[in-house]
């Protein structure tokens, strides 16, 4: 008896259930994406707006004075400590992103053009180390580059050097090495995807028309993979500018970056508005740098053709 | 001649590819190597084999506590981000609607934002609202950064999904929900499990957001961070790191196998029966 009642329920429910099918596609799509969209709006966009608002306010001990001021930006841009940290962060993220892309490109090329049926395996192999804890990867570089570390003790054991090389750890270079390693997978994947899209017949055509392998690579493959190079560059450049763990663990005092200063303002120094202004400045400057890089690559790709 | 020419670039490239993969793996592999070394500082030559650093782990209450916290946060974050991911990925792959690209861009944005920006902006709002920091606020942050990964996995699982199967089900009188439960869901289950595993792994390893948004309760990365200050604790951290590495590897291998199966299932001609 209850079974009969249960059996009829879906039938009854199917009528109102059909109505949405008749509604327009866009309404259904929008309705479906709204929860996720709202989540991102409330937990990402709204907080970023709050940060921007804070950057124009002033900290008075425990309270925040909400009268508009540009003082925080003056401090962020002109005070030598913050200015230097910002420049160093930009330098590190620029060198890291360019080095990551340059080192990743041949590998992505190899997988796309010579990977055969093992493309999937190669990509999986490359992403595995990236999935291991970021903290631990940074730490293993500290273990490798340290004064008594793996590299120094190994080289000394082999008799190549007599005393430990101190230049390995606690400077910008150790930060760059660690970041290039940490972000490799992020660069390979977009470049690989865009290389996969390169029409192989165009390369054949270039060859038939007398271009050598290098020339056809420079004039056909490389410009056509520019979108992948651009996204790889951006996906590495923007997050690395705000890296906190790497400079803290392997940067020492010469490798401190802007994120460490931002963290200090929200921690010990307890000056939220200044921390907010430093964050906003970093975001704007790195966006400008990324935009310039995109323009340069697009132009170069057009000229090469 | 031409055969040689074709071989040489590929040859050099393959040498490079192998070296590059070695560069990616070697630093990671030092963790397990030094976690079973008797010396308290990681250096060559290796001094001897031991399990003692692992044996110490279960006797550290703070560690067990942090592991439990990580498990709770990871499970909550992965379930929530997968639910949000399913809704959004379904909308993106199945429907056309105005604002599709900008909305998708916004949802994927945490992927390219510096984590510290995400962390401090959420911190400001939470403190402004007078909420206290806890594991719950960590979950909120982790869901935000996990959604893009869930989306990526799920869209690849949903894409190429044969819509005619759903239409057939609707024509045969199945309700929209019934169609979803009986036709769509079985086909996308591998992608969903894969999304759960991937977001769990991300949450398990995530440090910055947890660092800013947690109150007094530590997750595993925060526990590790605290231990890193003491040189004597390093071997124990290496042992713990090795265990995490193995866990991540296992979870992600399963996720990858499932994702591929999902992609094959939705894209092959045979549909459900393939």
Give the model confidence (pLDDT) of A134-169 as tens digits: 888 888 888 888 877 778 888 888 888 888 887 778
Q: Which domains does chain B have, with CATH numbers?
A: 59-273 (1.10.3720.10)
Note whether B205 and B244 are within 8 A (CB).
Answer: yes
How far B272 CA lies from chain A's nearest CA (Å)? 23
**Range A229-256 average pLDDT:** 90
CA distances from B263 to A185, A186, B166, B272 (A): 21, 22, 17, 12
Residue A140 is predicted with a pLDDT of 86
Q: Are B235 and B33 in contact (CB under 8 A)?
A: no
How many independent structural domains does chain A possess?
A: 2
Nearest to B221 by CA among B194, B241, B235: B241
Q: Residue B42 has what pLDDT?
A: 76
Sole residue written with tokens 């039938």: A11
Q: Which of B11, B31, B77, B175 to mutate to test the interface with A (most CBs of A within 10 A)?
A: B175
- Mean model confidence pLDDT for chain A: 85
Determine, for residues B245 and A136 on separate chains, whether the beta-carbon distance falls below 8 Å.
Answer: yes
Are A10 and B116 inside 8 Å of each other by CB? Answer: no
Binary contact (A131, B201; C-beta < 8 A) = yes
| Chain B contact set for A148 (CB, 8 A) | 41, 43
Question: How many degrees, rounded to 5, is the angle at CA B168 between CA B164 and CA B169?
Answer: 120
CB proximity under 8 Å: B 212-241 to A: 212, 221, 224-225, 228, 234, 237, 241
In a domain, A275, yes or no: yes
On whether both A226 and A119 belong to a single domain, the answer is yes
Residue A27 and residue A142 share a domain: no
Determine the residue among B15, B24, B98, B180 to mutate to test chain A binding: the one whose Cβ has the most chain A Cβ atoms within 10 Å. B24
Residue A45 falls inside a structural domain: yes
Q: Is there a contact between B157 and B191 (Cβ–Cβ < 8 Å)? A: yes
Q: Which residues pair with B49 in a beta bridge?
A: B37
∠ CA B92-B95-B96, nearest 5°, is: 95
Residues of A in contact with B156 (CB under 8 A): none
Interatomic CA distance for residues A287 and A291, integer angstroms = 6
Same domain, A251 and A124: yes
pLDDT value of position A7: 40
Q: A142 and B34 in contact (C-beta within 8 Å)?
A: no
Are residues B110 and A41, on separate chains, in Cβ contact within 8 Å?
no
CB contact under 8 A, A135 and B221: yes
Contact A43 B140 (CB under 8 A): yes
pLDDT of residue A2: 41
Same domain, A17 and A131: no
Report the 10 Å Cβ neighbour count for A132.
Answer: 24
- Give the C-alpha separation, B225 to A175, whole Å: 18
Q: Is the pLDDT of residue A73 over 90?
A: yes
CATH number of the domain bearing residue A268 = 1.10.3720.10
Any A CB within 8 A of B3 CB = no
Residue range(s) defining the domain that contains residue A12: 8-54
Q: Nearest by CB to B114, from A45, A131, A238: name it.
A: A238
Question: A111-138, pLDDT tens digit by residue?
Answer: 998 888 888 888 888 888 877 778 888 8
Q: Are residues A21 and A169 in the same domain?
A: no
3-class SS of residue A113: helix
Please determine, for the modelled complex, whether the ipTM score is greater than 0.85: no
Quickly state the pLDDT bin for A44 (edges 50, 70, 90): very high
Residue A262 has pLDDT above 90, yes or no: yes
Residue A119 lies in a domain: yes
Shortest Cα–Cα distance, B35 to chain A (Å): 12
Q: Residue A100: inside a domain, yes or no? A: yes
Does the CB of B268 have a partner CB in chain A at under 8 Å?
Answer: no
Q: What is the pLDDT of residues A5-15, one digit of tens each?
A: 444 444 444 44
pLDDT tens profile A193-228: 899 988 888 888 888 888 888 888 888 889 889 999
Q: Does B205 touch chain A (CB under 8 A)?
A: yes
Residue A103 lies inside a defined structural domain of this protein? yes
* Shortest distance, CA B99 to any CA of chain A (angstroms): 9
Q: Is residue A71 part of a domain?
A: no
Q: What H or E segment, with its residue span, contains residue A281?
A: helix A272-304
Residues paired with B72 in a beta bridge: none
Q: Which of A67-71, A145-149, A292-296 shows the lowest mean pLDDT across its residues?
A: A145-149
pLDDT for res B10: 59
A84 lies in the same domain as A45: no
Which phi and psi (to 5°) does residue B235 adopt? -60, -40
Residues A93 and A143 reside in one and the same domain: yes
Let me know whether A247 and A163 are in one domain.
yes
Regions in chain B scoring below 50 on pLDDT? 1-5, 7-8, 268-274
Residues A151, A253, single domain; the answer is: yes
When pLDDT is cut at 50, 70 and 90, the band that residue A188 belongs to is very high
Q: Are A51 and B124 in contact (CB under 8 A)?
A: yes
Same-domain pairing of A35 and A182: no
> Which residues contact residue B121 at a Cβ distance below 8 angstroms, ignoring those fewer than 6 apart?
A44, A47, A48, A50, A51, A279
* Residue at A68 is within a domain: no
Residues A47 and A192 in one domain: no
Tell me the chain A residues in contact with residue B107 when contact means C-beta distances shorter than 8 Å.
Answer: 36-37, 40
b/e burial code for range B163-176 (CB count within 10 A of at least 16 → b): eebbeebbeeebbb
User: Do A38 and A156 fall into the same domain?
Assistant: no
């Amino acid at each position: 008896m209850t079974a009969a009642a249960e059996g009829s329920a879906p039938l009854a429910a199917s009528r109102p259930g059909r109505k949405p099918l008749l509604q327009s596609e866009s309404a259904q799509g929008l309705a479906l994406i709204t929860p996720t969209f709202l989540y991102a709006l409330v937990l990402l966009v709204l907080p970023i707006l709050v940060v921007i608002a804070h950057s124009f306010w002033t900290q008075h001990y425990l309270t925040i004075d909400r009268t508009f001021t540009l003082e925080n930006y003056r401090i962020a841009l002109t005070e030598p400590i913050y200015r230097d940290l910002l420049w160093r962060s930009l330098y590190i993220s620029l060198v890291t992103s360019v080095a990551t892309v340059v080192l990743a490109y041949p590998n992505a090329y190899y997988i796309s053009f010579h990977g055969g049926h093992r493309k999937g395996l190669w990509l999986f192999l490359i992403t595995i180390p990236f999935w291991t804890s970021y903290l631990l990867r940074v730490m293993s570089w500290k273990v490798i580059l340290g004064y008594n570390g793996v590299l120094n003790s190994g080289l000394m054991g082999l008799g190549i050097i007599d005393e430990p090389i101190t230049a390995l750890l606690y400077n910008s270079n150790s930060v760059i090495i660690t970041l290039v390693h940490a972000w490799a997978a992020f660069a390979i994947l977009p470049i690989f995807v865009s290389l996969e899209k390169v029409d192989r017949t165009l390369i054949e055509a270039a060859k038939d028309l007398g271009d050598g392998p290098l020339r056809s690579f420079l004039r056909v493959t490389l410009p056509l993979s520019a979108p992948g190079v651009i996204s790889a560059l951006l996906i590495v450049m923007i997050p690395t500018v705000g890296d906190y763990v790497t400079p803290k663990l392997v940067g020492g005092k010469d490798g401190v970056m802007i994120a460490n200063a931002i963290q200090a303002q929200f921690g010990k120094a307890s000056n939220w508005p200044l921390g907010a202004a430093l964050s906003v400045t970093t975001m704007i400057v790195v966006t400008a740098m990324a935009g310039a890089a995109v323009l340069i690559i697009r132009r170069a790709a057009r000229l090469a053709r | 001649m031409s055969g040689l020419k074709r071989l040489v670039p590929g040859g050099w490239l393959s040498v490079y590819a192998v070296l590059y993969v070695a560069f990616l793996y070697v630093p990671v592999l030092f963790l397990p190597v030094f976690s079973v070394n008797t010396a308290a500082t990681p250096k060559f030559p290796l001094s001897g084999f031991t399990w003692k650093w692992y044996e110490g782990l279960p006797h550290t209450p703070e560690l067990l506590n942090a592991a439990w916290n990580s498990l709770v946060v990871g499970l909550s974050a992965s379930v929530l981000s997968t639910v949000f991911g399913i809704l959004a990925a379904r909308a993106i792959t199945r429907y056309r609607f105005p604002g599709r690209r900008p909305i998708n861009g916004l949802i994927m944005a945490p992927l390219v934002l510096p984590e510290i920006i995400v962390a401090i902006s959420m911190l400001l709002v939470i403190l402004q609202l007078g909420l206290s920091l806890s594991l719950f606020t960590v979950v909120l942050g982790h869901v935000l950064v996990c959604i893009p990964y869930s989306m990526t996995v799920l869209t690849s699982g949903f894409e190429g999904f044969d819509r005619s199967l759903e239409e057939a089900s609707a024509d045969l009188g199945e309700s929209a929900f019934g169609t979803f439960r009986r036709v769509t869901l079985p086909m996308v289950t591998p992608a969903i499990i894969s999304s759960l595993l991937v977001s769990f792994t991300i949450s398990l390893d995530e440090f910055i957001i947890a660092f800013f948004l947690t109150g007094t309760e530590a997750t595993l990365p925060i526990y590790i961070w605290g231990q890193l200050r003491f040189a004597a604790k390093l071997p124990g951290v290496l042992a713990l790191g090795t265990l995490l590495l193995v866990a991540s590897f296992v979870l992600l291998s399963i996720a990858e196998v499932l994702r591929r199966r999902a992609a094959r299932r939705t894209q092959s001609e045979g549909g459900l029966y393939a």
